[in-house]
Chains A and B, each alone.
Chain A
């Protein structure tokens, strides 16, 4: 266990203490304790910066399940560090902000911060794991914590809806990704990303390469809300605003981008990868920005804007893959796409984080986020206005903010498509710069709308639920820090270029570094009169024209009928699968135990007998048998008599006694065959079961055998004989065919030396096969709770009847 591992699990460990801190120190906002965690981690991770700047990586391994190739390998390189710093850095600011956003008197803070810390740890795990299975585990943790956080105000119907939607979509993607991981394992025989990267040239020729690529991308696209999976993100805005700022704009939704970046070295040689990632990205960019303009809720605008910006980064990563095909070039222009992706990732976290916090402040201080009710807040909330204007101008790509720089680089990347002559990009590729430009126009429009409709225009304070005023300073600190970064990165982008961007790009394109190319990151404002500059000017002019004529062309949004929207399709398929599942269950579940037993036994017989026949597994070998003693025959006859009696007696009490006879005879057999442990257990079990049965009988209705039809009885008789036959055949075969030596000798040899025990059965139970026992008591515990719940909580349903 290294310090790096400890850093990853620290949030999980500290989450344990949160409920106690919440209960113990009611006067202190729990957030202050929580704040220490991301802050400590941020300071810890920033120490790695000199290391990754020199191109070094840190790898630490803790063995977890070595026999399956699953180890907890923490791998820290430029890309991982960039994300780790984002997670802990934005995390600290968000926790600080939440202290003022969530009142300690009325909110369930212990839940909130436990989920938040769980998310933080999971996210660190995702970006710092080298083992794909471990990565997958943390990946699903982020989905679960996101689910819990979206549903934090679980008494609201919309929250539950949004939580369920995000869970269904992201877990669907997660499971696809697991499929992709397994396919990669089949091809490369390893779960380690670094080892897979080493094999990328051979992997691409495998037949499973394409399915693996698509499955992994499904995971990334669902998580990063790419079209058509983006529909969960707007509904996720039901979460408290600090959560939206943290999970649904700065970190979790970027996990998909991280995955694409991380897996680029494995897949990027393929043309399909380039096309899929770039095309889905650019279309999402367009669709998100197009839809953002029609929204009237501040957070909904920001949600669609996040979707669109994620698409932007995604498309850049896709086009960046083209650099791999031109590795002879001295000055590789395609590398700029990847550089822009990383740079924009950082920028987006800063400006979008601040905008979300701004939306939260407006909501908190005015009681609404509806821009139709807002307006004229500039005089009352000057600081918030300043934050908003810096954030949204950066988002719109205006100088002198950091968004301008990355937007210019994005346009450069898109224009470079014209020069690409591979994978048919020269024909359809024209769409890339066109869509990029159109999307940028819409981005400009909604950015302006966001600020102008909220802060300028006619004041209409009578429509607001609260009397608006400036937010307390504590709430303003975090967004002020973020917008300061927006400005600082705008003027001094090269603060980042060698420390953060270059190491990250080198991690995304390792083969270029290996072939001797240097990643040159040089970001500056003035490029001369380039096409990019004219495109930006065009965006601003067209944007202003369209914004002022918004009322005239806004009608086009109503053209898409509700039936054909993605949300409509999602809702319909959900309700259909629910009603279908309900019908199926109603058809199968009769409420009678005997019907269920018929299902279970039919399946049991069908699967086992058919296996026995298909595999030709039956064999009989009488050479190794002990002789049968007379008292064994007697005992067996008693058992048979007991079993037959059960069938014909009229009362339940007699049946249970007859069943007891069978059980006790079995115990006697154990005694005869010198298995005292089994005999003891069997005897006690039999006794306790009889007592339990007697208790249950008290509640059962009168036995009514006459109702059963003849056909049903014959069917049952036939089935039970088949079960008997199956068991008999299998026991004879298993005794007669020994494929392996018995493990008994190993136990006999080692029972004293390894476990210091004399009773082999017990040593097997607690030591050699302790896992079985552990699971058994778990099952037992669950069964006990299940019975308790079934009996205790059936009240309301009966009332309904």
Chain B
């Protein structure tokens, strides 16, 4: 491969990717009331990672995020399934979620919801799968 000069892309990426990830997190938590949610949040996070990948290369990305994304996928699935199963312990049907309202410092009145755990599971699975696919295809040369 010929060497290209990616200085502009790399400089921009290192700033922008954090913004994208922050935005993704915002979407993730906003999901219950505003547009957003685990799936979109995860996709945007992966988009940020893909951007990093394009600007630098797979080795750099691996150095930044030294996870095994396959395990991340599995962890996400486990988390969602366990959240869903948790309802059985309270004699509720599978996948029943619970919520209540709490007054938290700074945030004020907030509803806390077990659906968040389910969503974290979805989030992890989607990032895990996307990155597994990209990494395996990218590395297979």
User: Contacts A758-B34, A787-B133: A680 and B40 contacting too (C-beta < 8 A)?
Assistant: yes
Contacts of A696 in B (CB 8 A): 137
Contacts of A687 in B (CB 8 A): 47
- State which residues 61-116 of B face A: CB under 8 Å: 70, 73-74, 76-77, 80-81, 84, 95, 97, 99, 101, 111, 113, 115
Contact (Cβ within 8 A) A773 B115 = no
- State which residues 754-787 of A face B: CB under 8 Å: 755-759, 761-763, 765-767, 770-771, 773-774, 777-778, 780-781, 783-785, 787
In the assembled complex, the CB of A669 is this many whole angstroms from the nearest CB of chain B, namely: 16
Contacts of A777 in B (CB 8 A): 76-77, 80, 121-122, 125-126
Total count of chain A residues near the partner, CB < 8 A: 40
A771 to B97, CA, bound (A): 12
Contacts of B80 in A (CB 8 A): 773-774, 777
In the assembled complex, the CB of A695 is this many whole angstroms from the nearest CB of chain B, namely: 5
Which of chain A's residues has its CB closest to B138's CB? A695
Q: Is A228 an interface residue (CB 8 A)?
A: no
A729 to B33, CA, bound (A): 36
A770 to B138, CA, bound (A): 33
Contact (Cβ within 8 A) A784 B133 = yes
- Residues on B lying within 8 angstroms of A by beta carbon are 27, 31-40, 43-44, 46-47, 50, 54, 70, 73-74, 76-77, 80-81, 84, 95, 97, 99, 101, 111, 113, 115, 118-119, 121-122, 125-126, 128-130, 132-134, 136-138, 140-141
Q: A692-B137, A699-B140, A785-B70 are in contact. List 17 more A-B contacts (CB 8 A).
A: A677-B35, A677-B40, A680-B27, A680-B35, A681-B39, A684-B43, A691-B134, A692-B134, A695-B137, A756-B101, A757-B32, A759-B36, A761-B35, A766-B38, A766-B122, A777-B76, A784-B129
Among B99, B121, B136, the residue within 8 A (CB) of A792 is: B136
Contact (Cβ within 8 A) B132 A788 = yes
Contact (Cβ within 8 A) A688 B70 = no
Q: Is A791 an interface residue (CB 8 A)?
A: yes
Contact (Cβ within 8 A) A766 B97 = yes
Q: Is A676 an interface residue (CB 8 A)?
A: yes
Contact (Cβ within 8 A) B125 A780 = yes
A695 to B50, CA, bound (A): 11
Among A681, A688, A765, the residue within 8 A (CB) of B50 is: A688
Contact (Cβ within 8 A) B32 A762 = yes
Q: Is A638 an interface residue (CB 8 A)?
A: no
Q: Is A598 an interface residue (CB 8 A)?
A: no
Contact (Cβ within 8 A) A688 B43 = yes
- Residues on A lying within 8 angstroms of B by beta carbon are 676-677, 680-681, 684-685, 687-688, 691-692, 695-696, 698-699, 755-759, 761-763, 765-767, 770-771, 773-774, 777-778, 780-781, 783-785, 787-788, 791-792
A115 to B10, CA, bound (A): 53
A695 to B38, CA, bound (A): 25
Ranked nearest first, the 8 interchain pairs of A and B with the lowest CB-CB distance are A758-B33, A784-B129, A676-B35, A684-B43, A777-B125, A762-B37, A766-B115, A756-B99
Which of chain A's residues has its CB closest to B94's CB? A771
In the assembled complex, the CB of B19 is this many whole angstroms from the nearest CB of chain A, namely: 15
A784 to B101, CA, bound (A): 38
A774 to B38, CA, bound (A): 12
Contacts of A771 in B (CB 8 A): 95
A773 to B39, CA, bound (A): 10
Contacts of B39 in A (CB 8 A): 681, 765
A676 to B27, CA, bound (A): 12
Which of chain A's residues has its CB closest to B32's CB? A757
A691 to B128, CA, bound (A): 16
Contact (Cβ within 8 A) B40 A791 = no
User: Contacts A680-B40, A765-B39: A781 and B129 contacting too (C-beta < 8 A)?
Assistant: yes
In the assembled complex, the CB of A423 is this many whole angstroms from the nearest CB of chain B, namely: 49
A766 to B137, CA, bound (A): 31
Which of chain A's residues has its CB closest to B130's CB? A688
In the assembled complex, the CB of B117 is this many whole angstroms from the nearest CB of chain A, namely: 10
Which of chain B's residues has its CB closest to A676's CB? B35
Contacts of B73 in A (CB 8 A): 781, 784-785
Which of chain B's residues has its CB closest to A773's CB? B122
A680 to B31, CA, bound (A): 12
A681 to B129, CA, bound (A): 16
What are 8 A-B pairs with beta-carbon distances under 8 A? Answer: A680-B27, A692-B134, A699-B137, A766-B37, A781-B76, A784-B70, A784-B130, A785-B132
A698 to B141, CA, bound (A): 9
Contacts of B132 in A (CB 8 A): 784-785, 787-788
Contacts of B122 in A (CB 8 A): 766, 773, 777
A756 to B137, CA, bound (A): 41
In the assembled complex, the CB of B110 is this many whole angstroms from the nearest CB of chain A, namely: 11
Most interface-central of B111, B128, B133, B138 (chain A CB within 10 A): B133
Most interface-central of A688, A756, A766, A778 (chain B CB within 10 A): A766
Among B84, B115, B130, B141, the residue within 8 A (CB) of A774 is: B84
A791 to B81, CA, bound (A): 28
Contact (Cβ within 8 A) A685 B43 = yes
A698 to B40, CA, bound (A): 27
Among A688, A759, A773, the residue within 8 A (CB) of B31 is: A759
A96 to B141, CA, bound (A): 54
Contact (Cβ within 8 A) A781 B77 = yes
Contacts of B99 in A (CB 8 A): 755-756
Contacts of B95 in A (CB 8 A): 767, 770-771, 774
Contacts of A756 in B (CB 8 A): 32, 99, 101, 111, 113
In the assembled complex, the CB of A756 is this many whole angstroms from the nearest CB of chain B, namely: 5
Among B34, B35, B37, B47, the residue within 8 A (CB) of A765 is: B37
Contacts of A755 in B (CB 8 A): 97, 99, 115
A743 to B41, CA, bound (A): 27
Among A688, A766, A784, the residue within 8 A (CB) of B47 is: A688
Among B44, B115, B133, B140, the residue within 8 A (CB) of A692 is: B133
Which of chain A's residues has its CB closest to B140's CB? A791
Contacts of B76 in A (CB 8 A): 777, 781
Contact (Cβ within 8 A) A691 B50 = yes
Contacts of B140 in A (CB 8 A): 699, 791-792
Contact (Cβ within 8 A) B136 A788 = yes
Contact (Cβ within 8 A) B128 A784 = yes
A533 to B63, CA, bound (A): 85
Among B32, B137, B141, the residue within 8 A (CB) of A763 is: B32
Among B37, B126, B141, the residue within 8 A (CB) of A759 is: B37
A586 to B1, CA, bound (A): 38
Contacts of B38 in A (CB 8 A): 766
In the assembled complex, the CB of B84 is this many whole angstroms from the nearest CB of chain A, namely: 6
A778 to B81, CA, bound (A): 10
